[in-house]
Each structure stands twice: as C-alpha cells, then as structure tokens.
Structure 1
Amino acid sequence: MTVAKPTPLSGFPELLPAERFVELRVLDSLRASFELHGFAPVETRAAEPLEQLLRKGEIDKEVYLLRRLQAGQPDADSDPETDSSTLGLHFDLTVPFARYVLENAGRLEFPFRRYQIQKVWRGERPQEGRYREFIQADIDVVARDVLSFHHDVEVARVMAEALSALPVPPLTLQINNRKLIEGYFRGVGAPDPAAVMRVIDKIDKVPAEVILTMLVDEAGLSAEQAERCLALAQIRTPDSSFAARVAELGVSDPLLEEGVAELVAVIEGCSGLATERFSVLADLRIARGLDYYTGTVFETRMTGFESLGSICSGGRYDSLASDGRTSYPGVGISLGVTRMLLPLFSRKKLTASRSVPSAVLVALPDEESRAVSDAVAAQLRANGIATEVAPAAQRYGKQIRYAERRGIPFVWFPAGADYPHEVKDIRTGEQQVADPATWSPPAEDLRPQVVRPEA
C-alpha cells in the first residue's frame, strides 16, 4: 500500500534516538535528585473534568478536550465548561495534583513531598520553547492547614541541586517574594497591587518606558508611584544585600518587611549551591502573573537562551486545595524538560555518544555459526553489557562498518576450533584476546553518554 509522505504535526515533538537517550538521562538524573531528598513519585491521570481544569484561569483557550469519536456533539443547552462529563487533557501538573491531594488526603502523610514527571498538553501556538505536548518535572511539599516556611528554602535547594547536575548551559535561579512586592506596592499607595504585579511581570518583554506607561494606564499609579515601583523591580543581587537596597527606597509596610525576611532566608539557604554553571539571584522583578502565588516565587533562565523565558518556575501557594473544612497549602517548582532540551538539540549543543544502547556487535563468521554468536551475546548481556549480533554473515570489514554506522564501539569475534575469542575497539583498532564471561568495556562505553559538542 502506497502512503503519502506524512506532514509533520507542529508542536508535538518526536526525538531521534540519540536525543531520546539524552532526555532519559536527564529524567533519570532528576528522579535521583528528587528521591535523594525523600520526594515520592506520583503519576496522575491525563484527563480531568474541564470545570476543574478551568479553575486556574487564563488558559481556557489552551485546553484540549477529550471525547470519543462517536460520542456525538454536546446538547445544545449544555455548557462544556460546566458539564461534568466534559474532559480535558491536563495542561500542567499542579491542577491534577491538587485534585489528587483532596482525593487521597486520608491516605497521605503530611507534609507530603511529591515529585511528578509526566507529559502535559497545551493548545497554544507552537514556537521554540512552546509546544503542544511536552514533559514537565514538578516537586511540591504540601501540608494540612499550615506549611512551615522552611519548606520554601527546601524546595529551592532541591531544585537547585537537581538543575546543577544537568548537562545544560549555565542556569540562573531567580527568586522573589510576593509579600515583598505586594507590601512595597501597598506602601507606595498603589490602589490595586495585583494590577501592578501583572504589569511588572512583563518587564522582560517590553521597554522600561512602556512599563511606566502601563503602570499609570493599567494599574492606576501616578508617575511618581510608577517610578518607585520600577525602581524596586530593577534590584538584583546574588546575595541578601538586596534587603539594604529595598530599605534605601524608603517604603514601609508590615507585609513588605515579612517578605524581605522570607526572601533573605531563601537566598541565604541557597548560597552554598552556586557554581560556575549555576547561580542564584534575588531578582525583584519576578512577579509570576498568576494570582494564586502568595509568597516565594521562582523563575529560571538558561544562559544563551534567554529568549525562551523561564524554563523552571513556581512558588508558594497557600491554597493549593481545600475541601471546605481543611486547606492544603504548598510550595513547588516545575521544570519544563522539553522546553529546556529541544532548543539545545536543534542547535546541536547536546547529543549522545551513540544512538543505540549496544556496546558490542558480535560478528557472524557464517550463518552456521549464528548459535555460537548468539551464545556469546547472551553471556555478555548476562554481565550487563548491551549486545547485538550482526544481522548477516558478510565479510568482517562490512560488519565492522555496520558497527561504525550505528556507533557501536566494540566488535566481538567468536572463537573457533583453533583461535580464541577476540574483541576489537573499532575506534582505535586495538584488538585483544578476551573471555565473554569476564570481559567488560570501559565504564564510559558501557552506555551512551551525554555529549556537549561545544562545551
């Protein structure tokens, strides 16, 4: 049957094997980091009732609906946004996690520490850094009624350590506090601090003079108030010295003081994690436009890829979920794994040392010897060495070239009646006698390695 060449489906990325190896190594590294700190794995269903998904607001046009092909159209009088039978694919991992906490509260031990690595779906216009199907990796700490502030510091430290271990360009974790900026905006007399936050959250996308105009037109500030709010947003320090700079602005408010103290604690708690490839920054322009954040907020930029915006964001939310009697506050941070990796793949800045797991190709002298080659391969696999047997009994030169094309570093020549087993490193040409029961390749060749070509 002849099939027309398929048209690529925009926004649904598919990786080549070498890229998938890198992605898997990154996911393995994240899991290891999270579990090292006692975070338990969770996986939620892909679909949620639409009314549940829309509670987060601002993304109603991005939700993919889910229904059977033969389900027919909704009744004319029904509203898909409130019809409990209408399902949508989750667009992040926070909304399904909130539902999961409520449904399982009687079986969870609080504070509950969870990590979740899953695909999510978002119906937005595809572009670099924004996809319709992508992987997120979240960590959260959730408590019943009251969540101690030290968990804000903990979540920042855990994600900082996890990010530091990844084979990507240098990252900067930017941290702010919603209490700090809301208190400051109240202190300068802003009639609607939330409106000021929404404008300040756009500071990376538009010039400062436009921000000033928006603060006047959209947030109801005077020109002087707008200047004072912009002055706060321009403070960035790698340590707690931001506190003195805020004090110099001469604004007073109890909530501001509380926010400054909390941000100092988080920044100082992360101070020992800075390296050449990872830095922490108190950045008072970070606002996070979503209204449910109530304290600490996080964003993360990747050096050389600042146009992507934040690849890892989150914060404190004192009302993750509630059943009407009990509330469940939390603090969490979410890494956009696909958002981070795909731009690196497209620019050839990240790949794997080979595109197959096999470290060894067992040569095939002739078809009658296939059982012998299969036995050698089985022995190597028993020792944890990924191995495949040559597909055809061609000349050894052709079998070696086959291994080269697949990136397999070693070719094994089975023993015969009057000659021993030998293994050849086809990169160097070195060939030696070896025993399949005891031989092992160097550790770096055992599995595909992540390679940064321009690092």
Structure 2
Amino acid sequence: MSKPTPLSGFPELLPAARTVEREVVATLSRTFELHGYANIETRAVEPLDRMAKGGEIDKELYVLRRLQAPDDSADDTGPDRQLGLHFDLTVPFARYVLEHAGHLEFPFRRYQIQPAWRGERPQEGRYRQFTQADIDIVGKDELPFHHDVEVMRVMVQALGSLPLPRLSFQVNNRKLIQGFYRGLGIADVTAAIRQIDKLDKLAPEAVAELLVENAGATREQAARCLELATIRVSDHTLVQRVQALGVDDELLSRGLVELSAVLEGCADAVRASDGRVTVEANLRIARGLDYYTGTVVEIFMEGYERLKSVGGGGRYDALASDGRTTYPGVGISFGLSRTLVPLISEGVLTGSRAVPSAVLVALADEESRLTSERVADSLRSRGIACEVAPSPQKYGRQIRYAERRGIPFVWFPATETGVSDQVRDIRSGDQVDADAATWTPPHADLRPTIVTTIDNPEENTQ
C-alpha cells in the first residue's frame, strides 16, 4: 500500500492532542450532568428532505448512497430514501424530539457531543468533519423564560472551567431588536435583522444602505438601527442606554427585561470563572436564522477573533412541531473542533503525555515477566494505569522508554526474597521502597492532563 495522502478538512489528532479533546469533553459532560442534562447520541444521517431547505447550506450537504445503487432506485419513503450526513446537531435533535416525544419527560434537558459534516472549503476553524457540544432544554407547547437564563448560565459555567483563552458571550434578544425596529416604523423587520447581522462583515455605511434597499428603512431609521447596534454593556446600564434612544414598543420592553435577566442570571457564574468568561449585551448580534424568537448569543475567543464565533444559539419557539404539538426550546452549541484544533496546532494546548499509563513496570528478564504483570495488575485494580516494559533491556533503556512516552514513574520489582519493590519518579530521580497493594502516585499524575501556555486570565485583568 502506498503512503496515503491526507484529506484536508478532516482533522485527526495525535494521542497527546487527543488527550486535550477527551479532557475537554469529560469536563463539559460533568458540568452538563451536574445540572441534570441527559446525554443522547443521534444517528449520523438524516433524510435529505428534512435537511435541505433551499438555502446556502444545501451546497454543503454530503449525500449518502450505496456504491452499487442504481441511480433510479431511490425511494423517498422506503429503505433507500435519500440520506445525507447531518451538518449540525440541531436538525437531528428536532427530529429526535418529534420521534421520541412519547417517551420523554418535558422539559427535556439534553446534551450531545458528536461529529457533524459540511462540504465547505477547509480553512482554519472550518472543517468538513468537526465535533460540536450542544445543550438544549425543550418544552411541550410552552417553555418558561427562566430556562433561557439557565442554559446560558450552564454553558458559562462549563466553558469557564476549561483552560482556554478568555471567552466572550455576546448576548442579545430578538424581541428587543424586533420591537425597536417596529417602534421605528420599519416595514420589513425580518429583512432589517438580516442586514444588521452583516455588521461583522460589512462597514456600517454599507449596512445602512442595505437597510434602505432591502428593508424599506429611511436613512434616518437606518441610522437609528445602527445606533442601537453600537450598544455593548455588561451591567444594569443596558436599560438606560436603550431607553435613551426614545423608541417605545411593548415587544421592545419585554425583550429588554429578558436580556437584563440573562445578564443578571449569569453574573455569579462569570465571577466564578476567574476571568475566563465574560457576558455582555451586544445589540448588533442578531443571528440571521429566522427560527430564533428571543435570546440569542454568539461566543468569541480572545486572540482568535479571526475564527469568528466559536459557539452560538438562542431561543426557538417553533423549531419542532408535529402539527398538533409544538416543542419550543432554547440551546447553545459550542464548536469543539473549531476551538481546539487551532489551539493545539499552535502549541497553546497539549496533553501532559501521549499514553494513559502513569507507571511503567520494569522487566528484569523474560522469566520474571509474570512477576511484573502481577505488579501491574495490582496497580490497575486500584485505578492506576500502567504497562509492562516490552522487553528486558537494561534499566537505563527502560527508563528512557518511559521518558519518550511521558510515563512519570518506573516500577522495579524486587529480584530477591526479602527485598522491597522500588518506584522511581524519573523526573526528579527520587526512588523509594513501595508496595503495589498500597502505593499511589500523586493525583496530578494519575491520568493525562491538559498543559497550556495560557496565562491565568485573572492575572491579565490586573
């Protein structure tokens, strides 16, 4: 077999880097589960007619078919129904809720950490196969607003416990901006939201022209829309700043109350993150998808703004419906691959070792392999990962073997009766008598950990 050619857009991590991803997944999962979110995993494929909506995303769908399937064999209702790999976790989750609603208790809290696929041009932070971490709460016919605050707070806590560059949650509310545009008298509110959503790509003057051309706004109304979009605050001054613009609308008032509640509800979690996470109202955040109906959020990573948002989500009141029952929800998606792969490739994050083993049990000779295996089994029985040296080389070579693999301890079984086993910390050179039935390495050495070059964010705020 010839040497394979790498496929761009399908990142594969080496063992030490995979340690980073696994530790992040484990940390997120623990936090989500502490808040009562159940883990689910949906199938990799969905019917094309459920995913394809005639928009830009249709160009990126990967279609799934049998190699030998005749072109005319597809049956839109049978086993050969046209399928595609899911491009996010929201579409399959909406289908999951509809399909299993009779077996779920509502409100249903779910977290899901899975790959998705998009056939877009590969570049930093954008891949053809990538992993996302999503949390959602879904209700049946109604879902009280306090769940918006809950989801936001949970994701702030989860991401605030990770060794990442500072993350900024930029929050807005669709009711607020819809009410503001309606109060101004703009004819096409939805079109106005779509134009404002382009502010991260276009200059304000260009967006103002689009508001006039595509949303029917006057130039004065367009200027007021841009004035609202400049507001960015993280405290109670939000209300005064918006009210000072002099626009009155009932929907605007409701959105302002909800957005203020999100900021207040996340304050404790932000403080507990020790500077790793900030949350602020940013009234230019719109998220162009029409199914968002209230809270919306985009997540950005400090120093990596070139990646654009690394997460986002919001409130959707009618994403899933079977015609009789509507399942409103609120959720946030965090791009694991989008965030971690650039950090790993730049050496900002790495694993403390490439193997799970904390101990290498040395091998004096082949005749004593059973003795070394018994030591290893004794350590494993108490949750200490270890491996036996592959061959009975000189102890110096076995120590160097452990060093290359990042294994911190080497265990030397006693070769004479009445003599104790010994264990060496190969980093310090300290070697002591030890009993495999009782010895335990320091907690920090039990399993691989994430090593980061990131300064403590709290120190950066001094």
TM norm structure 1: 0.96
**SS state of the match for residue 314, structure 2?**
strand
Q: Does 1:421 align with 2:421?
A: yes
1:262 paired with 2:258, answer yes
Shift of 1:192: 1.2
Determine the structure 2 residue equivalent to 1:346. Answer: 345
After superposition, the C-alpha distances for 1:246-299 in whole angstroms (9 at most, x for unaligned) are 111111111111111111111111122224111110110110011100010011
Pair 160,56 (structure 1): closer, same or farther in 2 beyond 3 Å: farther
Take 1:147 and 1:399, find their aligned partners in 2: how far apart are those partners?
61
Q: 2:24 aligns with which of 23, 26, 29?
A: 26
TM-aligned CA deviation for residue 4 of structure 1: 2.1
CA contact (8 A) 2:361 2:387 kept: yes
Moved more, 212-221 or 103-112: 212-221
Which runs of structure 2 are paired with 1:285-364 in the superposition (5 Å)? 285-364=284-363
Q: 1:120 to 1:56 in 2, by over 3 A?
A: farther
Please tell me the residue identity of whatever aligns with 1:337: L
What does residue 447 of structure 2 align with? 447
Q: Do the aligned partners of 2:11 and 2:129 also contact (CA within 8 Å) in 1?
A: yes
CA contact (8 A) 2:349 2:450 kept: yes
Partner-residue secondary structure (3-state), 1:448: coil
The Cα offsets for residues 108-131 of structure 1, whole Å up to 9 and x where unpaired, read as 111111111111111111111111
Measured against aligned partners, the alpha-carbon deviations of 1:303-352 in whole angstroms (never above 9, x if no partner) come to 11111111111000000211111111111111111111111101110011
Aligned to 1:60: 58
SS in 1 for 2:182: helix
Aligned-residue offset at 1:189 = 2.0
Alignment pair present for 1:436 and 2:426:
no
- The 8 Å contact of residues 15 and 354 in structure 2, kept in 1 or not, is answered as yes
Residue identity opposite 1:64 in structure 2:
Y
Q: Between Structure 1 and Structure 2, how many residues are aligned?
A: 451
Q: Is the 8 A contact 2:75 2:82 kept in 1?
A: no
Unaligned ranges ≥5, structure 1 = none
Quote the Cα distance in structure 2 between the aligned partners of 1:80 and 1:12. Answer: 30
Q: 1:358 to 1:319 in 2, by over 3 A?
A: same
Correspondence 1:248 to 2:244: yes
Contact 1:400 1:426 (8 Å CA) reproduced:
yes
SS in 2 for 1:97: helix
SS in 2 for 1:119: strand
Contact 1:50 1:80 in 2 (8 A): no
**Range 157-166 or range 47-56, more displaced:** 47-56
Q: SS in structure 1 opposite 2:162?
A: coil
Q: Following the alignment from structure 1 to structure 2, what is the Cα–Cα distance between the partners of residues 421 and 301?
A: 52
Q: 3-state DSSP class of the match of 1:73?
A: coil
Following TM superposition, by how much is the alpha carbon of 1:55 offset from its aligned partner in structure 2, in angstroms?
4.3
Residue 79 to residue 253, structure 1, CA distance change in 2 (3 Å): farther
Match of 1:11 in 2: 9
Task: Give 1:147-296 correspondences, 5 Å limit.
Answer: 147-274=143-270, 275-296=274-295
CA deviation after TM superposition for structure 1 residue 219, in Å: 2.5
* Amino acid in structure 2 at the alignment position of 1:191: A
Partner of 1:70: 68
Aligned-residue CA RMSD in angstroms? 1.8
Q: 1:340 to 1:56 in 2, by over 3 A?
A: farther
* Deviation sequence 1:114-166 (CA, Å, 0-9, x none): 11111111111111111111111111111111111111111111111111111
Q: Which deviates further from its counterpart, 186-195 or 162-171?
A: 186-195
Aligned to 2:105: 109
CA distance in 2, matches of 1:139, 1:84: 32
Indicate which of 58, 75, 96 corresponds to 1:100: 96
Tell me, in whole angstroms, the C-alpha distance in 1 between the residues paired with 2:413 and 2:259. Answer: 64
Amino acid at match of 1:62: E
Asked whether the equivalents of residues 201 and 285 of structure 1 are also in contact (C-alpha less than 8 Å), the reply is yes
Q: Which runs of 5+ in 2 are unaligned?
A: 456-462
Quote the offset at 1:453 in angstroms.
Answer: 2.5
- Measured in 2, the distance between the counterparts of 1:139 and 1:329 equals 14
Matches of 2:75 and 2:409, distance apart in 1: 62
Q: Letter of the aligned partner of 1:175 in structure 2?
A: V
Residue 113 of structure 2 aligns to which amino acid in structure 1?
I
Alpha carbons 1:50, 1:82 under 8 Å: kept = no
Name segments (4+ residues, structure 1) moved above 3 Å.
55-58, 78-84
Q: Deviations over 1:61-110 (max 9, x none)?
A: 111111111112246xx898999810011111111111111111111111
Whole-Å separation in 2 of the counterparts to 1:52 and 1:82: 15
State how far apart, in whole Å, the 2-side matches of 1:376 and 1:261 are: 63
1:213-256 CA deviation, whole Å, 9 max, x = no partner? 22223333222111111111110001131121111111111111
* TM-aligned CA deviation for residue 370 of structure 1: 1.1
For 2:188 and 2:454, locate their aligned partners in 1 and report how far apart those are by CA, in whole Å.
48
Q: Residue 163 of structure 2 contacts residue 454 of structure 2 at CA under 8 Å; is this kept in 1? A: no
Question: How many Å separate the matches in 1 of 2:139 and 2:95?
Answer: 14
Determine the structure 2 residue equivalent to 1:36. 34
Indicate how the Cα distance of structure 1 residues 314 and 249 shifts in structure 2: closer, same or farther if over 3 A, else same. Answer: same
Q: C-alpha offsets along residues 21-42 of structure 1, whole Å, 9 cap, x if unaligned?
A: 1111111111111111111111
How far off is 1:405 after superposition?
A: 0.5
Verify the 8 A CA contact 2:75 2:81 in the aligned structure 1: no
Structure 2 distance, partners of 1:29, 1:215, is: 43
Identity of aligned residues (%): 62
CA distance in 1, matches of 2:57, 2:329: 22
- Residue in structure 1 matched with residue 46 of structure 2 by the alignment: 48
Alignment-mate amino acid for residue 60 of structure 1:
D
Would the aligned equivalents of 1:53 and 1:95 in 2 still touch at CA under 8 Å?
yes
| TM-score, structure 2 normalization | 0.94
